[in-house]
Structure 1
């Protein structure tokens, strides 16, 4: 039976669509197609829930309990993520562990959210005034989430939203709805009252379009493509919109870097989970005098990665999310070759499986360098000076995160100051992320910051209170 999650329970809907095992191509389960009735019921449920606000302590307790339950159900969630997202099992297990941390950080954020005194008494005529701010929830938040982290990226929206006192309507990616439904059950088991989290699933863009423009939604948080992010902003009206969009992460390997560390790290982060991570390594700039020895190390580290069944604990690189996604990546690869790029590590494709691929002689105008490839493909480029590397990294219209490998403190600080991105990671790849750090980008990479302590500020607004004493 096809179902969605509304008002604390599974609710049947008329239509369904299949959810496939991304490696075996077998139907795992059926997901509900939320219709107009389901949308109306979900918004009504969230609105009704907010008439009985949860105290700060209740929010804290629920989020902590949810983290405990997720720890207990760790393998159950990891297996489901592995199957419906095609994520290698060891990475799926890591995602579940990170999800627990996200919940606990959000619980702390609920307890520590605060306003501040506003020094109005320095103004003539305000000597007897006391002013301070308090933070309030916007109301009902719409969370639209991607397939690649079907648990932790969902929690990066749901957990701080609830911590701040917002109800949530969650629209998960159509490829990975099952984890979201399982999370809704877990949150209910943790004591979250009905209506505070509703999950509407659907296979097409119509559901998201209707929710974005719905007057019952007060705040939108979206993670996905830059194109869809622009469409959401265009149709959201005056609703606040938080956007975590694309990237084509630059990583710089300076001449004084630990080449073994850099090669192993960049291979793992360019090709792990088939490169389907917003901050995956895509553009690698290597100082010319170490280019050849680094190239050899990178090829060796990439060849050592295991490609295949994501449920095999040894697998590093599983399938792409769909065969269409793999076909698109393959087309970009072939286009780059036709324009003069050379494959140091040629791509191989079988269905949705694409092997790790390293290209040289790549031009900035090629799609594999200019756009977000979201596939196990990286371009390798030599540079002469650090200024040249920084300039090339900044040529991108994206600006999410970058990685820099160097033993020089001055080079590290220079890169931190001059790279036009939301995060500069020194002696690790662009894809490093701790769940309590501010995460987000500039330019076409989006607006706002995630990380519970920072997201809760985005998901609440300040009200100033002035007392005439």
Structure 2
């Protein structure tokens, strides 16, 4: 199976072009070959999207944009099993989580369809200013132009749509650069939009290597916004190279979860096993640090370890599987190195820590220190540390001792304490009595500190994918 870029609705032939294999992370079987785009192809894609924006998209009425998005959502819902199997095969994500990703993707497109009709301005009371008599003013939101959407492998459908759907809802065009490890769902998604009636060139996908296409895309003078989810080093580079473009960067975290002694443990344990180990921990808001009040620390740890050991590990394409491989062997090797490094410095592996190819067993660690990589950096792997604390102040201090600040979870029955801790945590988002890993597609999502810039969540993404324009009139 060969897949290629889609530019102005056209695909590419294999002749005289380099290819790259796409492999199943679980069994290393080749499932596709990418026909790699060149910098010249990228130039064609951006120029075409720029032309289509001015010719078509910026003039398209809101109801037509909404209808196209809604039709896309309906088509995706009809093909849920096909897309879920594709994600499971190319990303190694267990089917139960892949199906959930498709369901959320449908919801994201529907939210975007609804919001396309709700992009509002306001009337400005110009006579509130001295000399403003006989003047009338209002604002409107107008699309930016070409949006560059650069997406990761871990949610190849949903995170792509968090960029694409709001951009199209606002009347922009998109040049879409998906992760080269998970290109098949991206290819199918673009075809789906075209089938739903999106004009050719409004969504161009370029299939290629990030090191070859990333900088030219970010720096292109016809690109008005860059929206990126990925690593902190790449995000730093995008910020430096984007110039005056608008940017949204979602760069990861080492999310803390704080468990106070007044909670019933069953719900947080069940949630945190999912939060720490869903998709092998390859989630930006994966539960990486769990702080447990000393009084219940040992009880929590015992139950947490036992529930983790019960996870069904195996082939992502089997319905019963709860835990599968990491994206590739290099990622698993890196995570195993971090575990071994922590152990050499005094940490304890309570369960897991074993690697076989791309499979790294779910790992719980204790006796950790803040300078260990498994605490200080984003592990992006099935590794979670459980750490005792005594007081509320101590828990807040531990949680905030990080360069990251994306999302956190707090568990307590004390409402005053919950709001007090939530206010003190240096995070873009805080959940009370819910795990840090929980995300809905209609709330503002993004980080502080080095977790990123800007917010996703359809309404909030649309705000940043439009420009606020003022129009004033002097009346006779």
TM over 0.5: yes
The answer as to 2:176 corresponding to 1:175 is no
Aligned to 2:56: 52
Counterpart Cα distance in 2 of 1:424 and 1:49? 40
1:348 to 347, 354, 357: 354
The answer as to 2:7 corresponding to 1:6 is yes
Per-residue deviation at 1:37?
Answer: 2.3
TM alignment of 1:21-40, pairs within 5 A = 21-40=24-43
Per-residue deviation at 1:268?
Answer: 1.4
TM alignment of 1:232-247, pairs within 5 A = 232-247=238-253
1:192 to 195, 198, 204: 198
Aligned to 1:206: 212
Aligned to 1:41: 44
Q: 1:4–1:12: 8 Å Cα contact kept in structure 2?
A: no
Per-residue deviation at 1:2?
Answer: 5.2
Compute the TM-score of the two structures, normalised by the length of structure 1.
Answer: 0.99
Counterpart Cα distance in 2 of 1:12 and 1:42? 16
Compute the TM-score of the two structures, normalised by the length of structure 2.
Answer: 0.97
Q: 1:370–1:396: 8 Å Cα contact kept in structure 2?
A: yes
Aligned to 1:399: 405
User: Runs ≥4 in structure 1, deviation > 6 angstroms?
Assistant: none
Counterpart Cα distance in 2 of 1:370 and 1:32? 38
Counterpart Cα distance in 2 of 1:2 and 1:280? 31
Q: Deviations over 1:327-385 (max 9, x none)?
A: 00000000000000011113111100011111111001100000000000001110000
Counterpart Cα distance in 1 of 2:69 and 2:3? 28
TM alignment of 1:279-290, pairs within 5 A = 279-290=285-296
The answer as to 2:411 corresponding to 1:408 is no
**3-state secondary structure, aligned to 1:286:** strand
Per-residue deviation at 1:76?
Answer: 0.5
Aligned to 1:255: 261
Distance 1:12 1:121, change over 3 A: farther
Q: 1:415–1:424: 8 Å Cα contact kept in structure 2?
A: no
Q: Deviations over 1:93-146 (max 9, x none)?
A: 000000000000001111001111223211111111111111011100000000
1:144 to 142, 150, 154: 150
Q: 1:308–1:353: 8 Å Cα contact kept in structure 2?
A: no
Per-residue deviation at 1:203?
Answer: 3.1
Q: Unmatched 5+ residue regions in structure 1? A: none
Per-residue deviation at 1:204?
Answer: 4.1
Q: 1:2–1:15: 8 Å Cα contact kept in structure 2?
A: no
Aligned to 1:378: 384
Distance 1:223 1:204, change over 3 A: closer
Q: How many residues align?
A: 469
Counterpart Cα distance in 2 of 1:456 and 1:12? 35
**3-state secondary structure, aligned to 2:223:** coil
Q: Deviations over 1:161-209 (max 9, x none)?
A: 0000110000001101111010000000010010100000113412111
2:429 to 423, 436, 456: 423
Per-residue deviation at 1:307?
Answer: 1.3
Q: 2:147–2:227: 8 Å Cα contact kept in structure 1?
A: yes
Q: 2:411–2:432: 8 Å Cα contact kept in structure 1?
A: yes
Larger deviation: 258-267 or 187-196? 258-267
Counterpart Cα distance in 1 of 2:19 and 2:400? 44
Counterpart Cα distance in 2 of 1:9 and 1:231? 31
